[in-house]
Every structure is written in C-alpha cells, then in structure tokens.
C-alpha cells in the first residue's frame, strides 16, 4: 500500500498484525486485551511518562543508563543494581544486535551459549525470543519505569512483545533507526514499519495505557548539525502523533560546544511544541533527552569520567528532562554493572550540583537557538512542500532530494553530501551544504564562522578540517587544529 501520513485503518492493521505475530513463536503469547489489563495494573510511579511529567513539574533532570545482557535473571540483577547502587531514575533494556536485525535463530544460539558459559554472549537483552512472560518477570522486579532501547529498522514484533511485557517506553523511529543503522533499507519501508509501532502504541493510549515514545536523537553521533537531528526528531514525533502517540521525548546528542548544545535542546523543545500545535496535536506531552557524548571515548577511566561529567553538566544547564548516561567502559564495550553505576553516580553529582543553574536564556544561547530554529524551519518547510503536506512522503522525498541528509550515515538512500566541521569555538557548522534548503543568509553565516577558523589557523576552509575534527576526539580535543 502507498505510504501516507495517516492513521493505519484498523482492518489493514489487524491483517498486518497476524503476519507480525507469526514471525516468531513467542508472538502467539501476545493478547492485546490481556496486555492492556496487565499494563493498567502497573503502579503509576512505574509508568515512564508519569515520571517524566513529574520531572518537568519538579524542574529536575532525570538520569538513565543503557543496559542489556543475554540472561534474564542477570538482566534483573543488573537493573536492580543500577537503580539501587547507581541511582538510576529511569531504567533501560538495551536489546541485542541479532534481535535488532530480526535474526531470532541466531539469538537462540546466543542464549544457549550464554547459559552454558554463564556469561552474556549477546550484546543486549533478547526480548523477542524470551517473550511476554519473561519480559514481565523483568519489568515487575524493578522499582522504576523501564524503556526499550535498541536500533531496529523493523521493530514491529519487538513492540508487540515488550508492550505486552510491561515496558512503558519505546525508543526509535523509521528514520533514526534506519539511516544511521542500515545500508539498504528504504526510508519508505522503515517509516511504514514504525507507523505500525506507533499505531499499536496509539491503540494502547486509546485503551487508557500511556506509553512514552522517544525518537533516537543522536543519529550517527558524529558531528551532526543540531538542525538536522532536531528536524528528524520532529518529523518522527509528528508521524508518531498521527498514529495516536501522546507522550513524546525528543532527543539530541551532545556535540561539545556548550552554548550550541544548550541552544539545540532549547530549539528542539520549542519547535517540537510549535509543530505539534501546528498539526493539531495539542494533547501531546513533549519532553527532551540529552545524550552524553556519542563520539569516541578515552580508554583511561578518569578521562572517561571527565567526558561523562561534562555531558552531565551540559544536560543540567540545558534543563533537559532526562540525560542518557555513558560509562567509563565506553571505549571497551558492554560495561560491567559496577562501571555502569559509577557513570550514573558521577552524572547525578553534576545534575544535583547544577540543579539551580539554567543557561537557556543567556544571549549567546538565544542567538544560537534562533539560528538553529531558522535552519530547522528551512528544512521542515521544504519537507512539507516535497510531501505536499504529508510528512511521511515529505521525509522520503526529502532524502531523495538531499534536503534531509545525515552526515556519515551508511544508508545508500542518504545523499551524504552534507559535510560538517567545527568553527573556531568548536560549534558544528556546515562546510558543504549539499542540497540543504538554507537561505543565503544562513549559508553565509556558516561560511563566515568557518572562515574565522581558517584565518585563525592560517589555512583555507577545506575537507581537511572535517578530517581533523573527526580525529581530534582521540587526541582529547574538539577542534582538530593543524599540527
């Protein structure tokens, strides 16, 4: 059927649902009505959206780790440790890579190997293979709300099982879990898959169960201009709201210039609310999430804590509703529960020390935020025009035209013409505009900021700046200065 940004008709949805639930035997354990009843019995303080709204009211920034291991008793032990010893306000369950690729046979092997070896042979929690009841054993063993975090282009069955399994938040989107994560999936296909996810969550909403949805903000996590990741977040938020989703957390990955990071969150929050209103979704609740540094991490744990704390400070000063926390094992792989908890404690230290400081309204932030909003408007206006008002069609056409273009993304449907580089203060600017539909004034602004760096470094604005900025991270710097 032709893609359109409209609520999936019930008959069409139910027919598709039969196929989805048949994709793996555990799908037969999903009964929507029974799942709604189960969800309605979950205490309110364990509902993700409720806790986010309380944080907004209390003006606090919540902390949330990533965490996922193969065996479910270990997953319970891990998450209990992170809430008890790490002080996590919100809990994740990070899903393993095989499940993200719908390769459930290989998951089975991974679970068996983990049981035999006694250690996690998967890089996350295999929720689909475990099914509804084991998910409920995990989510009901914890004091805090639990969110599904993953990177799945076709997450339809995962949604069915985890929503029935007592999770109350679900990360991802048809763009943000495709373009940065896969080479060949078409944007139209994954947007359609995620319309299924959002329609199912819309059905839970209509039955009185509010499930929080969080588009994946950071995208490739490498020098992403805030206007690009913010625009994708808003498109995914609008596509979700169209399917009946009411509780949406829009996100952004730390880039490193403090003024720009705070401005990005401010622009994201304001524009998300503006676009929800523009499209008549006045009953959606919007919150923000700030991801601590998504780039390469130092191996030295003390330096890693420096990076973690800096991301915590930026989140606190931006008054993000929640911050996603890194660990001192980031340079190595899946962290131990102790390392994960220590990243949380370091973060909470900064969040609480900076609780009374808010930099969102200082002039430099407002100036940068207004530039980001203007850039977002150029992009979103063009997406609307290309889609003739339909955001789903506009997104597909936007990628084809290079109006939406995510730097360093592997997907062959991404133009890959836009090239970012840092200016003299480390803020992300655009060196190659590709087909971004910016006004001349905005194009001139970016050029001027890069020329300023060029003058300071005594070299021309060039691709070498992009390369130097990518490698600067390993040397512990942001701006890749010439040798």
Ligand X SMILES: CCC[C@H]1O[C@@H](n2cnc3c(N)ncnc32)[C@H](O)[C@@H]1O
Q: Minimal distance in Å, beta carbon 122 to ligand X?
A: 8
Per CB under 6 A, does 100 bind ligand X? Answer: no
Which residue from 335, 387, 407, 437 is in contact with ligand X, where contact means CB under 6 A? 335
* Nearest distance in Å: CB 258, ligand X: 21
Of 402, 396, 397, 458, which is closest to residue 432 (Cα–Cα)?
Answer: 402
Choosing from 50, 83, 171, 236, the catalytic residue is 171
Going by C-alpha positions, the residue among 232, 220, 372 that lies closest to residue 294 is 220
Query: In terms of CB distance, is 217 or 394 closer to ligand X?
Result: 217
Catalytic status, residue 50: no
Distances (CA, A) of 38 to 21, 25, 50, 168, 209: 19, 21, 17, 12, 10
- Rule CB under 6 A: say whether 224 interacts with ligand X: no
Binding of ligand X by 339 (CB under 6 A): no
Q: CA quadruple 226, 467, 181, 186: dihedral positive or negative?
A: positive
CA distance 173 to 201: 13
Q: To the nearest whole angstrom, how small is the minimum distance from the Cβ of residue 338 to ligand X? A: 13
Of 305 and 438, the one with the shorter C-beta distance to ligand X is 305
Please list every residue from 310 through 329 that binds ligand X, using CB under 6 A. Answer: 326
**Strand ranges in 57-110 using DSSP code E only, listed in sequence order:** 62-64, 91-94
Please work out the total of residues on this chain that contact ligand X, with binding judged by CB under 6 A: 10
Residue 8 to residue 60: CA distance in whole angstroms: 37
Contact with ligand X (CB under 6 A): which of 56, 334, 454, 470? 334
Q: Does residue 66 interact with ligand X by CB under 6 A?
A: yes
**First vs last Cα of the chain: how many Å apart?**
55
Note whether 330 binds ligand X by CB under 6 A.
yes
**Exposure letters 306-317 (e unless 16+ CB within 10 A, then b):** ebbbbbbbbbbb
Helix, strand, coil share (%) of the chain residues, nearest 5:
50, 10, 40
Whether 171 is a known active-site residue: answer yes
- Interface with ligand X, residue 336, by CB under 6 A: no
Length of the chain: 483
Tokens coding 189 = 């296909």
Which region among 60-68, 193-201, 267-275, 278-286 touches ligand X (by CB under 6 A)? 60-68
Joined tokens for residue 166: 């007592």
Q: Compute the Cα dihedral for 224, 230, 231, 232 and give only its sign.
A: positive
Q: Does 171 bind ligand X (CB under 6 A)?
A: no
Per-residue contact flags (x/-) with ligand X for residues 80 to 99, judged by CB under 6 A: --------------x-----
202 with 209: CB under 8 angstroms? no
360's tokens: 């969102």
Q: Given the complex with ligand X, which of 125 and 281 has the nearer CB atom? A: 125
Among 67, 107, 241, 314, binds ligand X (CB under 6 A): 67
* Candidate list 27, 68, 166, 328; residue touching ligand X; CB under 6 A: 68
Angle at 200 between CA 195 and CA 205, to 5 degrees: 120
Measured from the CB atom, the residue of 301 and 375 that comes closer to ligand X is 301
Shortest CB 358 distance to ligand X, Å: 27
CA–CA distance from 372 to each of 172, 239, 386 (Å)?
23, 22, 21
Cβ distance 395 to 405 under 8 Å? no
Contact stretch for ligand X (CB under 6 A) within 61-69, 111-119, 415-423, 450-458: 61-69
Q: How far is the CB of 439 from ligand X (least distance, A)?
A: 33
Candidate list 66, 100, 213, 422, residue with the active-site label: 100
Tell me which residues touch ligand X (CB under 6 A). 66-68, 94, 123-124, 326, 330, 334-335
Annotated catalytic residues are 100, 171
């Amino acid at each position: 059927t032709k893609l359109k940004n409209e609520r999936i008709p019930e008959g069409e949805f139910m027919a598709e649902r039969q196929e989805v639930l048949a994709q793996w035997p555990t799908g037969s354990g999903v009964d929507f009505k029974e799942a709604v009843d189960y969800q309605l019995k979950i205490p309110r303080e364990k509902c993700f959206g409720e806790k986010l709204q309380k944080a907004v009211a209390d003006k606090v920034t919540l902390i949330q780790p990533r965490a996922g291991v193969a065996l479910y008793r270990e997953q319970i032990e891990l998450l209990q440790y992170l809430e008890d010893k790490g002080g996590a306000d919100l809990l994740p369950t990070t899903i393993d890579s095989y499940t993200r690729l719908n390769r459930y046979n290989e998951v089975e092997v991974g679970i068996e190997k983990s049981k035999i070896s006694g250690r996690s042979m998967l890089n996350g929690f295999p929720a689909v293979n475990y099914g509804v009841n084991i998910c409920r054993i995990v989510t009901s063993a914890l004091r805090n709300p639990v969110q599904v975090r993953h990177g799945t282009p076709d997450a339809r069955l995962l949604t069915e099982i985890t929503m029935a399994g007592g999770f109350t938040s679900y990360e991802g989107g048809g763009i943000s879990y495709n373009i940065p994560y896969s080479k060949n999936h078409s944007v139209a296909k994954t947007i359609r898959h995620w319309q299924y996810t959002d329609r199912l969550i819309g059905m839970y909403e209509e039955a009185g169960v509010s499930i929080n949805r969080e588009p994946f903000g950071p995208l490739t996590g490498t020098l992403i201009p805030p206007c690009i990741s913010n625009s994708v977040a808003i498109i995914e938020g609008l596509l979700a709201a169209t399917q009946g989703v009411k509780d949406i957390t829009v996100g952004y990955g730390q880039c490193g210039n403090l003024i720009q990071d705070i401005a990005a969150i401010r622009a994201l929050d304001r524009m998300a609310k503006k676009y929800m209103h523009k499209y008549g979704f006045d009953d959606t609740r919007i919150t923000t999430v700030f991801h601590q540094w998504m780039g390469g991490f130092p191996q030295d744990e003390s330096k890693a804590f420096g990076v973690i704390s800096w991301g915590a400070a930026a989140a606190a000063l931006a008054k993000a509703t929640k911050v996603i926390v890194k660990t001192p094992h980031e340079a190595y792989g899946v962290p131990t529960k102790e390392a994960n908890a220590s990243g949380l404690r370091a973060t909470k230290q900064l969040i609480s020390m900076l609780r009374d400081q808010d930099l969102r309204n200082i002039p430099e932030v407002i100036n940068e935020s207004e530039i980001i909003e203007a850039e977002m408007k150029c992009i979103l206006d063009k997406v609307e025009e290309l889609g003739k008002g339909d955001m789903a069609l506009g997104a597909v056409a936007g990628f084809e035209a290079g109006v939406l273009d995510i730097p360093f993304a592997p997907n062959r449907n991404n133009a890959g013409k836009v090239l970012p580089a840092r200016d003299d203060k480390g803020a992300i600017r655009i060196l190659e505009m590709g087909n971004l539909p910016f006004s001349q004034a905005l194009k001139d602004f970016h050029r001027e900021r890069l020329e300023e760096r060029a003058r300071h470094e005594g070299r021309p604005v060039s691709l070498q700046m992009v390369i130097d900025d990518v490698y600067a991270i390993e040397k512990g710097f942001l701006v890749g200065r010439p040798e």
